[in-house]
Amino acid sequence: MAPPYVTSSFGGHASKLNFFTECPIQWDGERECLRFKSLVGNSRVKMWHFNMFLTVDTITAGVIFYNLVQTLRAPSDTPYMPLPVALIVELLGVLTYYVIVNHVMVIFYGKDGVYGWNELLKIERQLVMGMHTGK
């Protein structure tokens, strides 16, 4: 279980980021569990998905793809970019791929993931309580 100062910081920082958008999976500090907000009928969650699609899925993936093509097109004697920069760009490409996959998973399986995580928290609480009571 997370310490109280960690769980309170989730609530504090999440409230600052919910100006126009709202992430569909959020930490509920009062009940100490995750909660899922559906895309249907919630314009702030729709705006979050649009922002993720626009900034990460489209623009960042396009930039990474462009750099990859330019790196492959460059002759071997004069590289398009120095090796450390190329390695960082490739790392960003891998991370962008995983962000896109996570975004798709949140869309299709976010609600089930939240239910599963909350069940794991319940099992953990039962085990911790069992350890303290001696069972």
Helix (H, G, I), strand (E, B) or coil at 26: strand
Residue 39 structural domain: 4-133
pLDDT in tens, 16-34: 666 678 888 888 877 888 8
| pLDDT value of position 119 | 92
Residues facing residue 35 across a β-bridge: 26
Instruction: Check if the beta carbon of residue 68 is closer than 8 Å to that of residue 91.
Output: no
Instruction: Check if the beta carbon of residue 44 is closer than 8 Å to that of residue 51.
Output: no
The Cα 111–Cα 105 span in angstroms is 10
Instruction: Check if the beta carbon of residue 32 is closer than 8 Å to that of residue 121.
Output: yes
The mean per-residue pLDDT over the stretch 36-51 comes to 88
Percent of the chain with pLDDT over 90: 6
The mean per-residue pLDDT over the stretch 104-129 comes to 89
Kindly report the average pLDDT of the chain as a whole number. 81
Instruction: Give the predicted TM-score (pTM) of the model.
Output: 0.66
Closest to 36 (Cα-Cα) out of 117, 102, 123 = 117
**Residue 28: what residue type?**
D
The Cα 26–Cα 14 span in angstroms is 8
Counted domains in the chain: 1
Dihedrals phi, psi of 34, to nearest 5 degrees = -85, 150
| pLDDT value of position 116 | 92
CA 63 to the chain's CA centroid? 20
How many of the other CB atoms lie within 10 Å of CB of 101?
10
The mean per-residue pLDDT over the stretch 100-127 comes to 89
| pLDDT value of position 12 | 65
